[in-house]
Structure 1
Amino acid sequence: MQKQAFETQDISTTPRAADSWFRSLLQSLNVKSVSAGVVAALFGCSGPALIVISAAEAGNLSSGQTVAWLLAIYFVGGLISLIMALRYRQPVTGAYSIPGAAIMIGALATIPFTEAVGAFIMSGVIVLLLGISGVVGRIMSWLPMPIVMAMIAGALIRFGTGAVQAVESMPLIAGAAAVAFFASARLTKAIPPVLTAAIVGFGIALATGSVQPADVDIAFVAPEMTMPTFTLNGLLAIAIPLAALVIGAENAQATGVLMAEGYKPPVNAMTTISGIGGMVAGVIGGHNANIAGPMTAICSSEQAGDDKSKRYGATVVNGVLFCSFGLFAGAAVPFILALPKALIGAVAGLAMIGVLIAAFQQAFSKAAGHQIGSMVALLVAMSGISLLGISSPFWALVFGILVSLLLSEQVPARKSA
């Protein structure tokens, strides 16, 4: 029995169609989708925000420039979520490149921020051109699906192991959240297990005094714009690596996750809007705002609802929260970072269980072929290597396909529908 594929849906402008569209949106905002959207937002607004702040400190940015960076990536990332979810009725979720923020910690130690802002804009232009050309869509349609799924499993497995490590570091809080998750899944279908886990974990954290305001040196000030400078050094050191991360890591992960859940993602549109997001965020003073793999995984998982056609509601919720976080970054950052990292890591990992199961099943099915190539892709993605400034998900696809071709792994003929 084949999975149902959810096609792109056009939105008509007639009053009747608009009314039907609004009712569908309201129906998508149920307890499960809202809780999954909140979990995705908590994940994206916690640890990753601290990475951005660390990069800003490495570049000796002012508080205004740091706030502008956070405004750019969170507000524009949230807008991407809202646009894609409402346009395509799929949980295509926007945020920003978390690995991209990480590489900026080292880059800003030697490259002036004005050159970095110019590089952010150039990176968006590169991604936009690739999206308009349709190249990325053609590549994704050619890639063997088992190898793509193995890459997804390897890239996201860190969330699963992160949940285990969270229980080790804070057994009372994270352990209670895990127990609540599985107990809720066993006892009731009315309440999303991930919501139960978050509530129980937060309650215990609050009761034990583990919720502590974060000591973040960022004031509630107006965003400070930075005039971009376009240089060859910025292009080679920042723009091209960022573009590779957006396409080879974030977009590839998001596309694979959506396919694993039975959707037909609009690959070229995802790339195009990631390019536009990168350009707009760059103008404001932040690196690429784009489609995000981890947030898409959470919002498209079974934790977002049993009806897959309604899971885009989780992305809508995530988008609203991201936009709000970006607008009020100066006040919101200390509050979000007050939550125990172990609790956020445990809840995010638990939300990934369904996605990981689906990815492993499709990656290593004998009927699908490419088993050895898939194993290579899994191991490379899990390794976290970075070659030529490009992260492991991209190389997982490259090495997995090369090994599969070298061994002449055959793809079983597809049966006609």
Structure 2
Amino acid sequence: MEQQAAGGHEPGGLQQPISAGIIAVLVGYTSTFAVVLTGLRSVGATPAQAASGLLALCLTQAVGMVWLSRRHRIPLVLAWSTPGAALLAGTAPLDGGWPVAVGAFVAAGAAYVLTGLWPALGRLIGLIPAPIAQAMLAGVLLELCLAPITTLTDDPWGILPVVVVWLAGVRFFPRWAAPAAFVAAGVVIGVDMVRMGTTIALGDLVPRLSLTVPEWSWAALIGIALPLYVVTMASQNVPGFAIMKSLGYDVPWRSSLVTSGVATMLGAGAGGHTVNLAAISAALAGGPPAGPDPKKRWIAAQSGGWTYVVLAIASAALAALVAVAPVGVIATVAGLALLGTLAAALEGAVSERTGREAAVITFLVAASGITVLGIGSAFWALIAGLVVHVVLSPSTGRHR
């Protein structure tokens, strides 16, 4: 039976799922790894620790994908939380620095495990109105997506080529627009290195894990772990489940969440912020691009997992390249890569007229970047949005 599910002895039957899995992972990785590195650096990681985080994410995602897809014979694709990384990029380093950020990653992973084991917690998160969660994400993304504009006047010769290549990509090959923008950024970085005489030590190109003992603080748990958990559940895990269901797959909720949570906790000490179910990549690996036979598409997740292993080897080199980039170039790549996410979040925030005020307040507070009691704006945006939602709720008005 296993041989039949895998395509038997028909080599042609495996070509589509294998290539679909490789493409899904390549697109997801090259489109957003700059966002991950930016986010980790923002909460206190050194270049080496950020590179370690990228390496840890690749390895934990690979193991989780290979195990889940083989156990359930479903193309379950794992990814890092791009919205979560964007949230980190908008968060200032907290008292306690990088160790408390790592502690927040561990706490978020534990929350995913608990959600898988205790469905009531998932239902509780489901009570948060979707427009408020989307508005919080949009507010967090705004500053990053403004980077191509705010940095253009400072270094037009470095930023403009990246924007032009991205725009051409959106017009002619949308799926590869963000990776093409990074290739353009790589050329800009290379030219700048030659001009400035900058070099990269060979030792910096070798991937290695940099372990950090996690520490915990209330500011990090409330200001990083909680928003990271909410935005990842709302923008990654729930859509990931929905997409897979629309493709005809009965996704094992408990197994998937527990696996992604354990993977997050294992990778956190090395700098990995969050592992979760993929959404867009899931559509590539679980849909028609992976072949006409749904019973063979689980192989796409297998090939995607091994692709992550190969990409893990390149993590240090990419992080080293990012570390020597001219100011604004990588932020531009990250901002362009997140424009689609920002558009979707804005649409989700204001698509319904009822409750729009709460969503707008949430967006404004998140975009403000305020810090109160050492806790960042994402948490306060969530609180403000929920308060306005309750006050303006029609059911509240009937009781007055």
TM bucket (normalised to shorter chain) is 0.5 to 0.7
Q: Structure 2: how far apart are the matches of 1:190 and 1:163?
A: 18
Q: 1:365 aligns with which of 340, 348, 351?
A: 351
Q: Which residue in 2 is equivalent to 1:47?
A: 38
Residue 376 of structure 1 deviates from its aligned partner by 0.9
Residue 374 of structure 1 deviates from its aligned partner by 0.8
Return the letter of the residue paired with 1:392. S
Q: 1:273 aligns with which of 259, 263, 288?
A: 259
Q: Secondary structure at the match of 2:270?
A: coil
Q: 2:362 aligns with which of 356, 377, 391?
A: 377
Contact 1:159–1:345 under 8 Å retained in 2: yes
Q: Structure 2: how far apart are the matches of 1:190 and 1:328?
A: 24
User: TM-score, length-normalised on structure 1?
Assistant: 0.65
Q: Structure 1: how far apart are the matches of 2:93 and 2:217?
A: 13
Q: 1:347 aligns with which of 323, 333, 342?
A: 333
How has the CA–CA distance of structure 1 residues 398 and 207 changed in structure 2, closer, same or farther, with 3 Å as cutoff?
A: same
Residue 371 of structure 1 deviates from its aligned partner by 0.7
Q: Which residue in 2 is equivalent to 1:106?
A: 95
Cα distance per residue 1:104-127 (max 9 Å; x no partner): 773159xxx7x9988876764455
Q: Which residue in 2 is equivalent to 1:248?
A: 230
Residue 399 of structure 1 deviates from its aligned partner by 1.9
Q: Structure 2: how far apart are the matches of 1:49 and 1:118?
A: 13
Cα distance per residue 1:353-408 (max 9 Å; x no partner): 22222222232124x52110110111122123345665433433332122022012
Q: Structure 2: how far apart are the matches of 1:132 and 1:92?
A: 19
Alpha-carbon RMSD: 5.1
Q: Which residue in 1 is equivalent to 2:176?
A: 192
Q: Structure 1: how far apart are the matches of 2:303 and 2:322?
A: 17
Within 5 Å, which residues of 2 pair with 1:182-331?
Answer: 182-186=167-171, 188-189=172-173, 192-207=176-191, 209=194, 212-213=198-199, 234=216, 243-255=225-237, 271-281=257-267, 285-286=269-270, 289-291=273-275, 323=309
How has the CA–CA distance of structure 1 residues 125 and 363 changed in structure 2, closer, same or farther, with 3 Å as cutoff?
A: closer
Return the letter of the residue paired with 1:244. L
Return the letter of the residue paired with 1:106. D
Q: Structure 2: how far apart are the matches of 1:335 and 1:289?
A: 21
Deviates more, 1:35-44 or 1:313-322: 313-322
Q: Which residue in 2 is equivalent to 1:174?
A: 159
Q: Structure 2: how far apart are the matches of 1:89 and 1:273?
A: 15
Contact 2:220–2:375 under 8 Å retained in 1: no
Q: Which residue in 2 is equivalent to 1:160?
A: 145
Contact 1:128–1:271 under 8 Å retained in 2: yes
Q: Which residue in 2 is equivalent to 1:144?
A: 129
Q: Which residue in 2 is equivalent to 1:356?
A: 342
Return the letter of the residue paired with 2:163. A
Contact 1:153–1:378 under 8 Å retained in 2: yes
How has the CA–CA distance of structure 1 residues 236 and 105 changed in structure 2, closer, same or farther, with 3 Å as cutoff?
A: closer
Q: Which residue in 2 is equivalent to 1:415?
A: none
Q: 1:133 aligns with which of 92, 98, 118?
A: 118
Residue 169 of structure 1 deviates from its aligned partner by 3.2
How has the CA–CA distance of structure 1 residues 333 and 320 changed in structure 2, closer, same or farther, with 3 Å as cutoff?
A: farther
Return the letter of the residue paired with 2:149. V
Cα distance per residue 1:7-36 (max 9 Å; x no partner): xxxxxx733332399555335257687344
Return the letter of the residue paired with 2:387. L
Give aligned-pair identity as a percent. 22
Q: Which runs of 5+ in 1 are unaligned?
A: 1-12, 58-62, 411-417
Return the letter of the residue paired with 2:367. M
User: TM-score, length-normalised on structure 2?
Assistant: 0.68
Contact 2:111–2:261 under 8 Å retained in 1: yes
Return the letter of the residue paired with 1:76. T
Contact 2:22–2:304 under 8 Å retained in 1: no
Q: Which residue in 1 is equivalent to 2:6?
A: 18
Q: Which residue in 1 is equivalent to 2:30?
A: 38
Q: Which runs of 5+ in 2 are unaligned?
A: 291-296, 396-400
